[in-house]
Chain A
């Protein structure tokens, strides 16, 4: 498997990292959980960004805060890659577009792909959720059991990142939108 250091990917997709942290922040705001400090992005090989928030004993709030970036980045990323998908649909119908459309679509799509590539909760997020909910014996058993699969999903996704799962997701979303619009199968890398 072709390996690129994670921090390098974070640097290249820094808008997505920022939106990832914003996703945590928004989830805290929705859950009424205090946020003490937010670092949207920093050029650091270890931690590219973080949100320091109050510990909550509510398992559902913990779950929302952990999955906030996935929901927020996926919605935002989808909006940002939509012009690219529509441009592909226009090309598929042999519609000749003005010359400026292509670069503009790709620039916007860069932000979209960055968001989508950073949509998945991090391994650290999984650890936090595991510590605050699954391992927390003060909580009732049912929410701990219900939250456990979400921790496993994050763990699996983190492992799959080794196989570029985050980028397959990021590049797959615009192709999926294209397929839905045109009823045609996506063409994978040849479309880019």
Chain B
């Protein structure tokens, strides 16, 4: 090939072509001078890349420290985190089985042992609200959350729940105030006319609360339907209105079941029991309604089984003692019934007149539950 061809000195550094190759290392394959080797083995990273890396890594470290502190402070340790998860899962599964009281008991037992796990307390409160167990939600707040410090987001969430709870208890207070006069006077020796006038006055007072934006309508209608209307149809109308507002309240379904039973419509009564059990199979009103329907249908042993469980769970529940005694009477457990009655008498509890008629065989159980007042 013609033309000029430049030839390097083979002893020159292959990188700079200026200095001689450094042979001091003894490496026969060496091809760089000392300066080039020193330069090329340096770590040369562009400043912009270092800056970008510094920003991202710093952000990651800051976030990790921040989140790490939150996670550690909101539980009694990492083990508590997973334990809390398991408890919440157990609570979820019990709620799915409609065992609302058992779910709340599991939650409460856990919080008693782990009072600093505010994460579980807040979530538990939310769950209690979701299933209409406002008393449990309020109790969790007062016991485990009211004295703790929170982040802004937690405060926002808690305020939301507290507003709902306040609305619930405010309505109860207002309805209770309106009802108190009627409840205290109705048992006295007033004439029927006076009682009816008082009932109407009280009815109007409670009904007026429905226009109060700060009141829960389901509580208003439930109280009217249960205490302040003169006949079963009116009662049913109000209770159904309450149910429409709060279908997740097992007490309303229980009351409606009792109303249907009193009218003699057993299949309709069972439908309400089913609805109530789907909300909370452990609900006192629903279980008692179920037992009374069974008694009215003559299924005494089944009724006794339901009432034995309910009496053990809540002996002071509305009409629980009466219904248990009727079930004992119906199944021939007279001695046990007498024991319960004497125990009740010692505490000042009084059974009504129709109850005495039943246990003295002057009234049939069917008449007591279908035609009677109970």
Contact = CB atoms under 8 A, between A and B. Distances in A.
Do A and B come from the same complex? yes
Interface of A: 18, 22, 25-26, 28-29, 32-36, 38, 40, 54, 57, 76, 79-80, 82-83, 86-87, 89-90, 92-99, 101, 104-105, 108, 111-112, 181-184
A182 B78 contact: yes
A35 B36 CA distance: 11
A95 B119 contact: yes
A160 to B, nearest CB: 28
Nearest to B126: A94
Chain B CB within 10 Å — which of A25, A35, A89 has the most? A89
A94 B123 contact: yes
A133 to B, nearest CB: 16
A90 B49 CA distance: 32
Contacts of B88: 94
B122 A90 contact: no
Nearest to B64: A82
Given A54-B40, A83-B63, A111-B56, 10 more contacts: A25-B45, A26-B43, A32-B41, A34-B32, A79-B57, A82-B60, A93-B71, A97-B153, A111-B60, A181-B81
B60 A83 contact: yes
Chain B CB within 10 Å — which of A25, A34, A94, A112 has the most? A94
A185 to B, nearest CB: 10
Interface residues of B, number: 44
Contacts of A83: 60, 63-64, 67
Interface in B109-144: 117, 119-120, 122-123
B61 A90 contact: no
B37 interface: yes
Nearest to B152: A98
B57 A93 contact: no
29 contacts: A29-B41, A29-B42, A32-B41, A36-B15, A36-B40, A79-B57, A79-B61, A80-B60, A82-B60, A86-B64, A86-B71, A89-B67, A89-B71, A90-B67, A90-B74, A92-B81, A94-B88, A94-B119, A94-B123, A95-B71, A96-B154, A101-B67, A104-B59, A108-B59, A108-B60, A181-B71, A181-B81, A182-B82, A182-B85
Contacts of B82: 182-184
B26 interface: no
Chain B CB within 10 Å — which of A29, A33, A36, A86 has the most? A86
Nearest to B39: A34
A97 B41 contact: no
B63 A93 contact: no
Query: What 5 A-B pairs come out closest when comparing CB atoms?
Result: A83-B63, A86-B67, A34-B40, A94-B123, A93-B119
Interface string B297-341: 000000000000000000000000000000000000000000000
B41 A108 contact: no
A158 to B, nearest CB: 26
Contacts of A95: 70-71, 74, 119, 154
Nearest to B31: A54
Contacts of A18: 49
B71 to A, nearest CB: 5
Contact of A79 (B46, B60, B71, B156): B60
Contact of B81 (A38, A57, A89, A104): A89
Nearest to A108: B60
Contacts of A28: 41
A4 to B, nearest CB: 25
